[in-house]
Structure 1
Amino acid sequence: MADTPTDPVWVGIDLGTQSVRALAVDDTGNVLGAAREPMRGHRDGGRHEQDPERWWTAVADACLSALRTVAAHRVAGVAVDGTSGTILLADGHGTPLTPGLMYDDRRAAAQAVRADEAGAKVWADLGYRRMQAPWALPKLLWLLDHDRRARSRDAVLLHQPDLITWRLAGRRTATDASHALKTGYHLVEERWPREVMAELGVPPALLPDVVRPGTVLGEVCAEAAERTGLPRGVPVIAGMTDGCAAQLGAGALAPGAWNSVLGTTLVLKGVTPHLLRDPGGVVYSHRSPTGDWLPGGASSTGAGALTHALPGRDLDELSARSAERGTTSTVAYPLVSAGERFPFSAPEAEGFLLDAPVDETDHYAALAQGVGYIERLCFDYLDLLGAPADGPLSLTGGAVRSRYWCRLRADILDRQVTVPANAEPALGMALLAACRERDPVRVATEMVRVRATIDPRDDPHEAERLREGYLRLVAELRDRGWLTHHVAEHAEARVR
């Protein structure tokens, strides 16, 4: 009879917008069970809500499915991530009083202005300089202004994963500092800025206790064990936001490491030993489980610009043709929609082409190169802020399906890139659960598998054409007044 495995299994839960994902993995990153449950929301103009009770039923069902073939005695920990800035109010028993106000809900524009005025010094100290309407604190102020239940004596603020960890542990749990960032939590002093909250009229009892990611919040209770298949007594670990979870899943935990996520939009996240303070207000930092900082920013460019510009076209075919043809001299600034967020803030920015493409293949290649140019500009901006921007870089997101695009980005950035085999947020949470009393960087090395390593091509002619295209785009962004002269000069100097 074969021996029964006894090595630990770690469970990661990802509360996404469209679905909940549960993943069970071992210490080597081998996936032993996975399941997904769909989610639905309600949108009305700038409002976006979901039913928090559905979060719990989806988590329970996904866990049951993912753990169906996993021996209960092997499960050693569970951690949960959620969408950044998603909140709700609950009563003292953990019953939701409001819908979940989602990460991209923009109803709180007026409250964001109030939060900026009251906390300007704190937000500057934390490096991000200003609150934005979709962030959690403005939405909490909106609830206090418009929903009488927010003023009830036993009302409490919950971030999206807090409801799940409460249900898992059978009691109210602390929130993690990663999700608390957009509620105004002071990550440097590790406390709520009570003076700011008092000025904004936020009752102290409304705010949760806060712990660092990776902290044990409690243990799975009997009721939750029956509902989810997680064994009773398994530690429930404080998680992180979905963006940070994806960064962990990509293995980017050592200082100087970066993860570039190219999906509909482009998101960069990295690791620095010190907090970056960005005068432009486009970079903000989470705190790593290691005590380092996780700076990042989200651009409005991305693969969505290609589907928008070339609707109904076979992008895989255009990718293959572009790979055969090579670098184009056509320069594009591809935007998914109006307005840029990173590496500069320009609400009025619009996408453009500096040249007329000769055909669809040329148009596709120009857009793909343009995204790569903005990615390079992001790294030049991070270098200007003092970040170690030239360390290991992993590529994740839907665009990694295109070998051409991965190679192109390595060429434009002039650096080696790796493509992880599985960098989803649920893996990042499983990794975080496994980090208890262990070195996170070493755990990531053991659990994150690499699918491909890509070096830039040794082709001086192609490299020079890409440098010329990059410099043309930087100059145009400066001439249009979107990119400051200081940032443009730094980018140009790094090329030369």
Structure 2
Amino acid sequence: MQYFMAIDAGTGSGRAVLFDETGAEIGASGQEWWHASDPRYPGSMDFDTAGNWAALARCCREVIATTSVDPKDIKAVSATAMREAFVLHDESGAEIWACANVDARADAEVRALKAGHPGLEEDIYARSGQTYALGALPRLIWLRTHMPEVLDRARALTMLSDWVLYRLSGELTSEPSNAGTTGLIGLKDRKPLSDALETVGLPMDLFPRSVHTGEPIGHVHDAAAEATGLAPGTLVVAGGGDCQTGALGLGVVQDGDCAVLGGTFWQQVVNVPLTLTDPTMNLRINPHVVPDLNQAEAISFFTGAVMRWFRDAFGQGKGYTELEAASKDVPPGAHGIIPIFSDVMRYGEWFHAAPSLLNLSIDPTASGPAAIFRALQENAAIVAHRNLQAVFDLTGKRPDRIVFAGGASRSPHWAQILADVTGLTVATPRVKEATAQGCAAAAATGAGLFATLQEAGAAWSAIEREFTPNTALKDMYDDAGDRWAKAYALQRALVASGVTTSMWQAPGTQL
């Protein structure tokens, strides 16, 4: 039996997951993490390359030990990661600076870019599908201002998935599905926007050699083998951004296919042609790992993190399973509770209201932990529905179903809520950790098990269950969505007027 390893550097955790040649998950090891803010720089979110590599290596050793798989039978390894986060390397390849995905320290730099280079953001968006909100350009300018010695020493920029592969093989590479989230890679040709870098006086050669998902790039060197437990010489294969490899793992590889990936963030994605753009700049467009396709994407912020917060702060020691079991007795609509956390996607003016729970009563049965837990699940579905509808309106197409994956899809109750809210059939895959499976499928493709990524996705993806929407609930959920939208607009206004504090806001946002 051949095996393939996926290493996933996610927002809320790092994991190593092992799959066999049939696409079945054999074992997994993970570690929750978070990313510290530098107290000197508001909005910052650093990524600890040394500590987090140690955590990922430990996960690799643990999954090999618990599965008792001979490392020599692991034919290839690949990596996937949260997007937008990147690492800078010096001439020797050593990491000299790194930030996590929603690092927002470059507020002044975004404002200066918009004032000093009017129209540049719109031009970058038209070509890359990205705004300044999570892009690399303002962060690099921030470094030039605050840490010029770091930028002076920088010779390569890698995304976290590329960085993991560098740690394994010593090869510096750039894969477009993740690198595209810098806002510095073209959607059509997958090449760096060197002119945009030149316009603002930044180095034009920071991106290392470009590779495509599923392409072999090197082999595990001795030091990495000792750290991870992998065999020296194991094939290292290019991976990609977590959302796009997740789509591959789900078999979402054709134009118009649709998925919701429910993790720390919820991503709602629809495959689109290379020519599609959004004139409103509300949605982001990303390169897919599959050639000749992009993805229109909307993001629900901190959805999984909000559930973790509620569990830890108000769960009274109960886990997710117990909290959800109690919430099933709460009627649909959750007694009218209105959670205020993530807004719908507004990529061009991206900020979220202050975390709040509205319309609570003093009746503990109507506003206790069970009711709030259900309200949070319903709200996640409502925001996802509105984000998806924006994509459907843009493409003029509406799919027959949504493929629902990630940790949230382990809950049949949540999958049914998503079906009821959207009015679409929701399908959940056999392997819930689609991001890791897609990453392993890329490794298997690089090892020659499959001729193409599409073949790998089709072979390994399998639907376990489908949830048919309860049409009797659709009007009620539409009304709940309308009430949420009105309430959210008012909560955004409170942030804009300085009364409350945004849960998160993109750097340079004009409130």
| TM-score higher than 0.5 | yes
Q: Does structure 1 conserve the Cα–Cα contact (< 8 Å) formed by 2:400 and 2:424?
A: no
Partner of 2:6: 12
SS of the aligned residue for 1:13 comes to strand
Q: Does structure 2 conserve the Cα–Cα contact (< 8 Å) formed by 1:266 and 1:299?
A: yes
Q: Does structure 2 conserve the Cα–Cα contact (< 8 Å) formed by 1:127 and 1:281?
A: no
Greater shift, 55-64 or 234-243, is seen at: 55-64
Read off the aligned partner of 1:426 and give its amino acid letter: A
Aligned equivalent of 2:467, options 439, 449, 454: 454
Counterpart Cα distance in 2 of 1:332 and 1:476: 11
Aligned equivalent of 2:412, options 395, 399, 403: 403
Read off the aligned partner of 1:341 and give its amino acid letter: M
Q: Does 1:60 align with 2:64?
A: no
Q: Does structure 2 conserve the Cα–Cα contact (< 8 Å) formed by 1:115 and 1:131?
A: no
Q: Does structure 2 conserve the Cα–Cα contact (< 8 Å) formed by 1:127 and 1:278?
A: no
Read off the aligned partner of 2:294 and give its amino acid letter: W
Partner of 1:385: 394
Counterpart Cα distance in 2 of 1:481 and 1:227: 47
Partner of 1:81: 80
Partner of 1:427: 437
- C-alpha distance 252-332 of structure 1, shift in aligned 2 (>3 A): farther
Counterpart Cα distance in 1 of 2:22 and 2:175: 26
SS of the aligned residue for 1:385 comes to helix
Q: Does 1:299 align with 2:300?
A: yes
Partner of 1:102: 100
Read off the aligned partner of 2:438 and give its amino acid letter: G
Q: Does structure 1 conserve the Cα–Cα contact (< 8 Å) formed by 2:334 and 2:372?
A: no
- C-alpha distance 450-405 of structure 1, shift in aligned 2 (>3 A): same
Counterpart Cα distance in 2 of 1:257 and 1:376: 15
Counterpart Cα distance in 2 of 1:199 and 1:37: 41
SS of the aligned residue for 2:395 comes to coil
Counterpart Cα distance in 2 of 1:316 and 1:177: 38
Counterpart Cα distance in 2 of 1:466 and 1:354: 16
> CA RMSD of the aligned region, Å?
3.5
Read off the aligned partner of 1:106 and give its amino acid letter: A
**1:310-349 → structure 2 map (5 Å cutoff):** 311-312=314-315, 319-320=324-325, 323-324=328-329, 326-328=331-333, 331=336, 333-336=338-341, 340-342=344-346, 347=351, 349=353
Pairwise CA distance, 1:65: 3.2
Pairwise CA distance, 1:322: 5.5
Counterpart Cα distance in 2 of 1:475 and 1:148: 45
- C-alpha distance 465-343 of structure 1, shift in aligned 2 (>3 A): farther
TM-score by length of 2: 0.79
Pairwise CA distance, 1:390: 1.6
Partner of 1:493: none
Partner of 1:24: 18
Partner of 1:212: 212
Q: Does structure 1 conserve the Cα–Cα contact (< 8 Å) formed by 2:260 and 2:269?
A: yes
Counterpart Cα distance in 2 of 1:148 and 1:318: 49
Pairwise CA distance, 1:430: 0.7
- How many residues in Structure 1 have an aligned counterpart in Structure 2? 470
Aligned equivalent of 2:380, options 357, 368, 371: 371
- C-alpha distance 219-399 of structure 1, shift in aligned 2 (>3 A): closer
Read off the aligned partner of 1:422 and give its amino acid letter: K
- C-alpha distance 342-389 of structure 1, shift in aligned 2 (>3 A): farther
Partner of 1:123: 124
- C-alpha distance 428-335 of structure 1, shift in aligned 2 (>3 A): farther
Partner of 1:245: 245
Q: Does 1:159 align with 2:163?
A: no
Counterpart Cα distance in 2 of 1:401 and 1:345: 33
TM-score by length of 1: 0.81
Q: Does structure 2 conserve the Cα–Cα contact (< 8 Å) formed by 1:47 and 1:107?
A: yes
Aligned equivalent of 2:455, options 425, 433, 442: 442
Counterpart Cα distance in 2 of 1:103 and 1:29: 29
* Gap runs ≥5 in structure 1: 483-496
Q: Does 1:150 align with 2:150?
A: yes
Counterpart Cα distance in 2 of 1:263 and 1:235: 29
**Identical columns (%):** 22
Pairwise CA distance, 1:438: 2.3
SS of the aligned residue for 2:225 comes to helix
Greater shift, 438-447 or 364-373, is seen at: 364-373
Counterpart Cα distance in 1 of 2:34 and 2:480: 42
SS of the aligned residue for 2:141 comes to helix
Read off the aligned partner of 2:179 and give its amino acid letter: A
Pairwise CA distance, 1:70: 2.4
Pairwise CA distance, 1:239: 1.5
Counterpart Cα distance in 1 of 2:102 and 2:490: 31
**1:266-305 → structure 2 map (5 Å cutoff):** 266-291=266-291, 292-300=293-301, 302=303
Pairwise CA distance, 1:124: 3.0
SS of the aligned residue for 1:23 comes to strand
SS of the aligned residue for 2:415 comes to helix
Q: Does 1:169 align with 2:172?
A: no
Partner of 2:506: none
- C-alpha distance 357-303 of structure 1, shift in aligned 2 (>3 A): farther
1:215-271 residue CA offsets vs partner (Å, 9 max, x unmatched): 222233344334433334433222212233333344433332222134555321232
* Gap runs ≥5 in structure 2: 494-511
Partner of 1:224: 224
Partner of 2:256: 256
Counterpart Cα distance in 2 of 1:465 and 1:39: 38
Partner of 1:203: 203
